[in-house]
A and B are shown apart, each in its own frame.
Chain A
Amino acid sequence: MQNSMVESDRTGSKVLVEMIRATASAVEANRDTINALNVFPVPDGDTGTNMMLTLRSVVDDLGDDSSGTIGDIAKKMARSALLGARGNSGLILAQFFKGLSESLGTSDGEPLLRGTSFARSLRIAATNSYKAMPNPVEGTMLTVYRECADVAEASAAQNGSFENVLAAVAASSLETVRRTPQLLPVLAEAEVVDSGGFGFAVMLDGALRSLHGNEPAGRVVEVPMPGGTKFSGTVKADFVDASEEIDWGYCTVFAIQSESIDLDKLRAHMDQLGRSPIVDGTDGIAKVHVHMEDPGKALSAGLGYGLISNIEIVNMDEQTAGWAAARRNSAGRRRVPTLAAPKIAVVAVAAGDGLTDLIISAGLGATSVVEGGDTMNPSVADLLAAVNAAPSNKVILLPNNKNVVAAAQQVPDLTGKDVRVVPTRSVQTGVAALLAFSMDLSLDENAEAMNDVAGEVGEGRVCRASRDVTIYGREIKAGMAFATFDDVIVTVGRDPLFVLVKLIEECSDGAEIVTVYTGESLSPEQVKTTTETLEDKFADIEIEIVWGGQPHYDYLIAVE
């Protein structure tokens, strides 16, 4: 019959694979916007990036192969999605694939995706997602899944074809996303809608366009804002990476020889032409170090003071780009333990050289570190690989990031090893918990002891906002510094050190020791000033200042 022939062309294995590819392109096309919808203006484990990478894992694993039934394909995708899941959004996304897999798995080798089976998959995804999240919250992807399942079931009941059901769900998902600020007040205040929910709506848009043969399937989708307002958030993903010294252009170094050189005049001259000039000299020779977009200008100017020599010019853009790319791809890299066969091993997630070194040094030789990634989080597969490579069959896993906890909790079921997850929500808590690790205790005793310590640590962070935002009654402009304590914004200011001092003042009542980790954006001078200021202001609290080297956060603190 006419209808079923049309359907069979349009909802079989090949089409399913193309639709999933389209969801990945769609999220990629909208990634920056999805990231910009994160409530906290810190690009720390961004939703858009996490969802994009999770989908990429699925697409990469499928490759060009669309053989097998839709049930087989869905099963493969579910496994890829789970292993490739990054962050909470990645995990909830994995539930969507699991829903597809379970629904199509019960269809007895049915070759086509139907309205009914799609609706069933959404319902399974919704139910499981609520169960899988430790704190299920309305106004997030969970709500979108649930309402999509409602709409899909209603549409399928009216004898809707897969195409009709998908269209209905794609349209309604945008409306659900539009309403998320009503369900989750912090979204309303920050003037955003839920990022993960929008990400899913974008996926549905891509899938539908692929089904219709529209090109490109992945297109920019307008953010559905309440009351017809427009979302204007520009993401400045690199903003927080920039330190006081912005490193771009050419680093230009040369010497000037002359009987007498007016160093001050030379310095002022270089300051006019470029940035951050360092000019130094002794009898008859001056050394100039300046950042220029056009190094020739500095050299020409130098000629006016004497003979120039020892010229070195380095392209800082190349350096920075290479370094940034290395960092962006760094989530999942490992540092390994020194002991060959400890009784119990620890796998901990960390971002920042100092923090990584600290964890290794506190880890009794039995600890490996999984790189926490810059704007993305390690995937379930990254954590699983580290656990499987650990030199013991008994492993403690420390996610050290609230966006990695759920992924970590997937690991025990995926490995043959005996694993306990201590759900640390920040790296500074993880370090404190690690100090309770002891080879004299059993795996369970260790987990309990480390959990107890984690529960008693107060976590604080200081960073600069990557964009304007209003949150919890505070207006924060891009570039301003703000401090959170246990995820609540405590203070806002212009200067991170000033904000740090206020943070400690407000949150260290009754504390025995405050540990301050300095981030990679701080220069050695700034670290020195921090130390002096804190020693001065807090003479009666024990404060330990340690190099953390973490990205994004000027300071992380643990209060015990």
Chain B
Amino acid sequence: MSIAVVTDSTSDLPADLVEKHGISVIPLNVHIEDETFLDGVTISSDEMYRRLPDAKVIPTTSAPSVGAFVELYEKLAKTHDEIISVHISSKLSLTHNSAVNAVAEMSSTTTPIAVVDTQQASMALGWTAVRVAEAISDGASLDDSVALAKKLSERAVFIGMVDTLKYLVRGGRIGKAQGFVGSLLRVKPILTIREGEAHPLERARNRSKGIARIKSLVAEYAPLEKLAVLYTTDEDDASEIANDIAEFDPDGSPAVAQLGPVVGNYLGPGMLGLGLIRAEPS
């Protein structure tokens, strides 16, 4: 039984991991002024962040259409017996909704397709897809994979320190982090995703204290199964953090991943953070 693994572009998976694990990534849409781009396909992260601060009209994003999902699922059904499709939190995007509707559209197909709302985003989602792919290589069934994906959602963690909350606010994704908005002091908000939406974690007094806090948070979440350092525009800072926390990664070398245009649209330039999966408590 071969099982295809599908996720969406908000997973921010680096290309090498996508290829290594044979994961199919369906792109969301990015709308800037009058143009529509496919996330990670026809617009790159760097270009997005370049355009973001000056954009006269606020860029928006939208989920892949039901048709796009149907097309992908039909294509995969030709080469696989079953499909598991893991996606970004339904509170942050209609992507999961689209996938579910696509499955309903395909009622005549005999290929079993399981869709999972991971309640996560970015590499917390990405690592879940990777772990599911790894389990499938080890012989996991579709049911096992679905169970695993759900369990991992709880052990996956997304942490993001942003320069400003304004992108989240205007993008309507501020969630429970509302209390952090409007600070008259220059603080660096550190957020996480909890129950599928943005949740306030802490406020760092300045960027360097924030970076120190990110590193100490890794220690608090350890031991880990998977670890990635995330960034939107500051690759050097991300690499430095990765070096300093290497000991917490099972392979001794954490991934460093740039946030794709969709997630980046809501976090803005200057973001630094983590996507990780905590080890199962023994």
Check if A560 is an interface residue, CB within 8 A of chain B.
yes
Least CB separation from B204: chain A residue:
A435
Q: Do residues B208 and A544 form an inter-chain contact, with CB atoms below 8 A?
A: no
Check if A306 is an interface residue, CB within 8 A of chain B.
no
- With A362-B183, A546-B184 already in contact, the answer to whether A432 and B200 are too (CB < 8 A) is no
The digit string for A437-448, where 1 denotes a CB below 8 A from any CB of B, is: 011100000000
Q: Do residues A365 and B184 form an inter-chain contact, with CB atoms below 8 A?
A: no
Check if A357 is an interface residue, CB within 8 A of chain B.
yes
Q: Do residues A544 and B201 form an inter-chain contact, with CB atoms below 8 A?
A: no
Question: What's the minimum C-beta distance from B192 to chain A, rounded to whole angstroms?
Answer: 9
Taking CB atoms, residues of chain A closer than 8 Å to B178 are 365
Q: Do residues B206 and A435 form an inter-chain contact, with CB atoms below 8 A?
A: no
Check if B185 is an interface residue, CB within 8 A of chain A.
yes
Q: Do residues A435 and B187 form an inter-chain contact, with CB atoms below 8 A?
A: yes
Question: What separation, in Å, do the CA atoms of A546 and B205 have in the docked complex?
Answer: 14
Check if A542 is an interface residue, CB within 8 A of chain B.
yes
State the interface size on chain B (CB cutoff 8 A): 17
Check if B180 is an interface residue, CB within 8 A of chain A.
yes
Check if A512 is an interface residue, CB within 8 A of chain B.
yes
Question: What separation, in Å, do the CA atoms of A362 and B202 have in the docked complex?
Answer: 12
The digit string for A395-429, where 1 denotes a CB below 8 A from any CB of B, is: 00000000000000000000000000000000000
- The residue that A512 contacts in the complex, of B184, B200, B202, B206, with Cβ under 8 A, is B206
Q: Do residues A546 and B180 form an inter-chain contact, with CB atoms below 8 A?
A: no
Most buried by A among B178, B185, B203, B206: B185
Q: Do residues B184 and A544 form an inter-chain contact, with CB atoms below 8 A?
A: no
Taking CB atoms, residues of chain B closer than 8 Å to A440 are 200-201
The digit string for A339-364, where 1 denotes a CB below 8 A from any CB of B, is: 00000000000000010011001101
Question: What's the minimum C-beta distance from B182 to chain A, rounded to whole angstroms?
Answer: 5
- With A438-B200, A439-B200 already in contact, the answer to whether A513 and B184 are too (CB < 8 A) is no
Which residues in chain B, 160-214, are within 8 Å of chain A measured between CB atoms?
178-180, 182-187, 200-203, 205-206, 208-209
Known: A432-B205, A513-B206. 13 other contacts (CB 8 A): A361-B184, A361-B185, A362-B184, A364-B180, A366-B179, A436-B203, A438-B201, A439-B200, A440-B201, A512-B206, A513-B205, A544-B185, A546-B185
Residues in B lying within 8 Å of A, measured CB to CB? 178-180, 182-187, 200-203, 205-206, 208-209
A-B pairs with beta carbons under 8 Å apart, 30 shown:
A354-B184, A358-B184, A361-B183, A361-B184, A361-B185, A362-B183, A362-B184, A362-B185, A364-B179, A364-B200, A365-B178, A365-B179, A366-B179, A431-B185, A432-B205, A435-B187, A435-B203, A435-B205, A436-B202, A438-B200, A438-B201, A438-B202, A439-B200, A512-B205, A512-B208, A513-B206, A515-B185, A544-B185, A544-B186, A546-B185
